[in-house]
Amino acid sequence: MNEAIIRTDFEFPGQKDVYHGKVRDVYNINDELLVMVASDRISAFDVVLPRAIPFKGQVLNQIAEKFLDATSDIVPNWKMASPDPMVTVGKYCNPFPVEMIIRGYLTGSSWRTYKSGAREICGVPVPDGLKEHQRFPEPIVTPTTKATEGHDEDISKEEILKQGLVSKEDYEKLEDYTRKLFQRGTEIAAEKGLILVDTKYEFGKIGDQIYLIDEIHTPDSSRYFYADKYEELFANGEQQKQLSKEFVREWLMENGFQGKDGQTVPEMTDEFVNSVSERYIELYEKVTGEKFVKVASETVIGRIEENINNFLNNR
């Protein structure tokens, strides 16, 4: 089994600071470039779980790389190069303090909210009588705040504008980009026999130009169903087979953990960790239509550091 990377602590030429997110370690090079290392950490319910998942970072980085390239005609994105299977280097952008979440189906947290009696999600009215995994007539945009620590919070478009988090002009562009990106992702997924159920996008600015940043259409930021089984399972009221991180959340909930105070993360056995790794690889192969090639190294950390330094020294 490959070395799973739980954290990096590099020092690169021109490095101003480093941000250790839930999954990614982001190195700021002179406020010009961001070096984003996709670690093998995994989070759920806004909690980083104690064990890393082998090859997860490579899966996330390489899926995001493919989708950034496949959507660059819709909106410019931050990516410049991927010098290592777990690394993307790109433009330094000022991020918007909201995440744009778009949902095509009533699933996951939106279903849990709906089941509790709510008939409005982030200011968007939702009718009575819907069932779990039911398709919305049109995808709905349900933003969240972008928390540097703790939980992201649901927020409406009206509240975003009222708080001045995003200008009206920029928000309308973000929502337009979000719908177009989701449509493109839906079309690509359909070609592979998948349904893109919901996903999130993050955006930033350089001057007046909006850029798509971070990852897109990965199993950490998106949910997929298998298209061929969807109608039958929905008609029978059965759970959909998902290619997403939802199965990790479900395992945690079955074992009494939802990220609430006083709860303890259940033991992650080798068998469970390996099963999560296999599901991530399965999603990569299904969503890209390509065989996943495990890039194994005697020391993954050393390989990453060398590849990034080579890029920075030769750019």
8 Å CB contact between 10 and 19: no
8 Å CB contact between 132 and 113: no
Q: Domain residues of the chain, as ranges?
A: 95-243
8 Å CB contact between 308 and 81: no
8 Å CB contact between 243 and 194: yes
Q: pLDDT (tens digit, 9 = 90+) per residue, 114-144? A: 999 999 999 999 999 999 999 999 999 999 9
Ranking 30-39, 104-113, 217-226, 239-248 by mean pLDDT, the lowest is 239-248
8 Å CB contact between 68 and 22: no
pTM for the whole thing? 0.90
- Distance, in Å, from the CA atom of 78 to the CA atom of 74, rounded to the nearest integer, reads 13
Q: What is the pLDDT of residue 146?
A: 84
DSSP 8-class letter at 157: H
The secondary structure of the chain in percent helix, strand, coil, rounded to multiples of 5, reads 35, 25, 40
Q: What is the pLDDT of residue 115?
A: 95
Q: pLDDT (tens digit, 9 = 90+) per residue, 78-110? A: 999 999 999 999 999 999 999 999 999 999 889
CATH tag for 95-243 (out of 1.10.10.10, 3.30.70.3150, 3.30.470.20, 3.40.50.9100) = 3.30.470.20
Q: State which amino acid sits at residue 15.
A: Q
From the list 11, 2, 5, the residue with the least C-alpha distance to 23 is 5
Residue 73 CA, distance from chain mean position: 21
From the list 290, 266, 303, the residue with the least C-alpha distance to 3 is 303
Residue 111: in which H helix or E strand, if any? helix 109-115
Distances (CA, A) of 87 to 62, 95, 135: 9, 19, 35
